[in-house]
Structure 1
């Protein structure tokens, strides 16, 4: 849940992951049309698959069925499992031609997958495996995904590292905000998670952590949470003082993606800072 936000999809749904489910079923030998509509035929095929892997037969693809249904694919692979990846909207963004759903996992498909992985703080290997599919499956209406920050990440590979470190410091951690998310940062994540809950404890910042980690800040505020905001903007001095320049930078971002711009960094603006909405 925290680091693998698998969705739950059943009858009547027409969201993007439905077509992927159908392609995976086709890749596993089931005869059905990948039309993106989760109807009786798809539900029956899911139930048949579940019976073969010893899962609860309910015709619903949820967190228990998804990991068994997916087929990891990488550059050089072909077939319906590749089409399951290619049909997603993430492979098309402004100024870039849509990816052909041709079932051939070539360099362009691998590039788009790496872009998606970078956008969500995942391992950038160009392979559509379980970690990547847990996020692809969750691209459904009403689900506000948060990215991952994992041990081993640096500011160069995941721009959220300094944001995360400053926010952890704002919550009392003594780690250094150095842009390297090493073992000490991971331990700080574990300690923070243990103050929130007894389950889903790890060294990775995920879905359950960001809402508790972020702190609303605005003009006049000072401290580590302000530094977290400032670290997103390359032209700002990270001094922890929410002054006119920081206010202008925040309002400028909000004006493009979250009007009206009020200069207040609350939950929706924090998502702007941590989720890639543009290239």
Structure 2
């Protein structure tokens, strides 16, 4: 019997690498996605050494570049037959405003647009298994997120003249969380999508982000947990025998949690989902019918 396959972005270190190791130990094969060829090969070697007998692939893509996301989807199609678990883990909180070549703010691009894009490309290609689980890593900082209910900015360009690192990162994560909940309601029966909040992790993420988060890291580091411990929630969502409920839920410390108030606005989640699909020029899944 072929082992299920998990694809993990941002797998070169920290939470992504720890998650890959735990999934390999649980009997899954892994495709680790990193930013460049050098880190991909180093990650493949490290994971393969820890998991003899398991299949480990490594691919690379700069996920702030939409062409790279499209290329990654194509290379995944050439690498595996099915994706049983997709873990959208790659993320960053950039300290200053900058736009990508595609004209979107880069924090929103990496944390919201790229995982949405990759997920929908794999759906369109039929590469996600009929019982696939899509897990997108969230953050406690979603509480800092701000989206206009009537006119949500899913690309982040409205922050150009009022940039705030924490607010922009929180907003990108909030948009991703809401899009995930809307996606879950539209997925084919048997598939599921979740948001997983790992909490504060001892990875150097805050320090490497620079800006305010670098200062925050000096305090939050006192309460940070090891990556392997933080990885337990996405691993549980990926490996539980029965798909955890609710589909579209937010999970932390292995259990479902109540999302922040804005994230419970289903009309806003729909607008975020549909606007994101239009911004990326991908086909939105049909909304569920009532009755």
What is the TM-score with the length of structure 2 in the denominator?
0.25
Higher relative contact order (CA 8 A, sep 6+): 2
Which is richer in helix?
2
Whose Rg is larger? 1
What is the TM-score with the length of structure 1 in the denominator?
0.26
